[in-house]
Structure 1
């Protein structure tokens, strides 16, 4: 029976996770149950249209045709046609994007919209076609293509955890886009958005074009030891690897009060502190809720720059994108 409407939700995410530039990503879920991610509703319609609602809807382009969700829809239909589907026989849908994440926040805002759109469309049309049109690997490739249109380059460290949930390592080998990693269930991830905007393209432009050999070796060592420590559940060693030698030394100049915030978090015993994606959001990893509460409050009082900012105590969202 053909489904008439559904809604897809995709969580916010941390790209890089400090030590894994473009290779690690983590999905976030506030412990208080609040939404930290975008929703996309899909329903049958006479003609395609996109509506945009939500707290940050007014920050998106006024023309729905240029919205990334519209581009996702057209790309999805094109991919269906390429694999032999008679797309002219398919029902038309209308879509509504509920934009809960701020643009240029370092929380995977565009990835959340993209993942919710593709995941929703894939599930919606499965009821029409009698089978799921695309498997997870193909969907991730499609998500990465659209994410690349926003950021200027194809990378999966936001779309993969947003879609799959948890902590993910990018493989990008044949049809294996990302791998799910073990995590520490007792860790709390304080995530704070300052309220200012840092574009991914600008944050990438500030980075050097070449990385010294010593830095490259350190980066590879940290990532390898971190993954090994996750599998052996060596919390202390994993946390010791969570420093950014690639991007943070340059990007922190774009983030007011970053060094001060790091210093406070570390004095409170945070296991790690870093830039979420390209910034301006930051994150602190804590091994106790009491510690997380203190750091969360300080960041809310001191790191946030205006009334659009927010701070949440999170744990990793193990589900990723969901349908309801």
Structure 2
């Protein structure tokens, strides 16, 4: 038996929801923006890594997060009394590392969901999400679900303080396009978190709460004007924009061109622009291709919300 699972890219934070909002996205042209992990029976545990960004990962399999996912999953199997099989895992690394697109989350979600499917799903979605968060925290240094939750469940996810719930699906704007531009440079999540202040003012805390609650309310009422009219990040973007060459200029251009909103995807360097006009989305993609990409590794995709999340291929 062999199982292959695809896990989609995601926008962490979605500007107004630092560490508490995440949106899964998929290119409208049908291409796979995310990672694929395959699991099959073997005579020994092994991990093979292929794909466009395989050379950006550690050369030793034991240093790869997918290998750590196997160890965690086997531990969970043993604790529940399940027999453990020897497997070969293959990671097709389609996602750039340190891109702000939830690259590590893609690998984690695809690996754990593929293992769960291989074993005929011994663990519930709630148990799976908890394991995914544990693995993501191992990479970033802090526990946050804003990439793994949308990557796993799809759609727009709101993180809940109750550990028994973790996340809820919000209504997303299905007619909106999300233009994703990865410039081809790397910004580590850990480094991007280190530039943030340890404390925020009362005014910033109030502004964050008002903006996030207004966005959530607008999602339920499908009010794009309210959702994107006050689309401002007071917690992270002011401190991170200096890490992204050309971001300030690109944001100004795209907003003046008519985009509903522009922000940093996750911790960057990927930029995302929102519009409900396909022609404007295509024009924005063309402009970003010429003006925001820094290396040949960069790319631009016109996307919509991915409502499926992780799925078997």
Fold-level similarity (TM above 0.5): yes
- Once superposed, what is the RMSD of the aligned Cα atoms? 0.8
Q: For residue 108 of structure 1, what is the aligned residue in structure 2?
A: 102
Could you list the per-position Cα deviations for residues 141-161 of structure 1 after superposition, in whole angstroms to 9, with x for gaps in the alignment? 100000011101110000000
Q: For residue 295 of structure 1, what is the aligned residue in structure 2?
A: 284
Matched, 1:321 2:297: no
Could you list the per-position Cα deviations for residues 6-63 of structure 1 after superposition, in whole angstroms to 9, with x for gaps in the alignment? 1000000110000000000000100011110000010010010000000000000000
Q: For residue 34 of structure 2, what is the aligned residue in structure 1?
A: 37
Q: For residue 67 of structure 2, what is the aligned residue in structure 1?
A: 70
CA distance in 2, matches of 1:245, 1:112: 27
Q: For residue 91 of structure 2, what is the aligned residue in structure 1?
A: 97
Q: CA deviation at 1:80?
A: 1.6
User: What aligned pairs does 1:218-237 form with structure 2 within 5 A after superposition?
Assistant: 218-237=207-226
Could you list the per-position Cα deviations for residues 54-97 of structure 1 after superposition, in whole angstroms to 9, with x for gaps in the alignment? 000000000001100000001001112223x143xx32110000
* Selected match of 1:136 from 125, 132, 135: 125
User: What aligned pairs does 1:197-236 form with structure 2 within 5 A after superposition?
Assistant: 197-236=186-225
Q: CA deviation at 1:253?
A: 0.3
Q: CA deviation at 1:275?
A: 0.4
Q: For residue 189 of structure 1, what is the aligned residue in structure 2?
A: 178
User: What aligned pairs does 1:268-287 form with structure 2 within 5 A after superposition?
Assistant: 268-287=257-276
Unaligned stretches of 5+ in structure 1? 127-131
In the alignment, is the contact (CA less than 8 A) between 1:17 and 1:242 conserved in 2?
A: no
Q: For residue 167 of structure 1, what is the aligned residue in structure 2?
A: 156
CA distance in 2, matches of 1:243, 1:182: 20
Residues 63 and 135 (structure 1), Cα distance of their counterparts in 2 relative to 1, 3 Å cut = same
Q: CA deviation at 1:272?
A: 0.6
CA distance in 2, matches of 1:91, 1:148: 26
Q: CA deviation at 1:243?
A: 1.4
Q: For residue 53 of structure 1, what is the aligned residue in structure 2?
A: 50
- Secondary structure at the aligned position of 1:176 is classed as coil
Matched, 1:304 2:293: yes
Q: CA deviation at 1:172?
A: 4.0
CA distance in 1, matches of 2:97, 2:226: 34
Q: For residue 236 of structure 2, what is the aligned residue in structure 1?
A: 247
Could you list the per-position Cα deviations for residues 116-155 of structure 1 after superposition, in whole angstroms to 9, with x for gaps in the alignment? 00111111101xxxxx211111111100000011101110
Could you list the per-position Cα deviations for residues 90-111 of structure 1 after superposition, in whole angstroms to 9, with x for gaps in the alignment? 3211000000000000000000
- TM-score (ref. length: structure 1): 0.95
CA distance in 1, matches of 2:82, 2:227: 50
Q: CA deviation at 1:183?
A: 1.0
CA distance in 2, matches of 1:66, 1:187: 39
- Secondary structure at the aligned position of 2:181 is classed as strand
- TM-score (ref. length: structure 2): 0.99
State the number of aligned residues.
Answer: 313
Q: For residue 129 of structure 1, what is the aligned residue in structure 2?
A: none
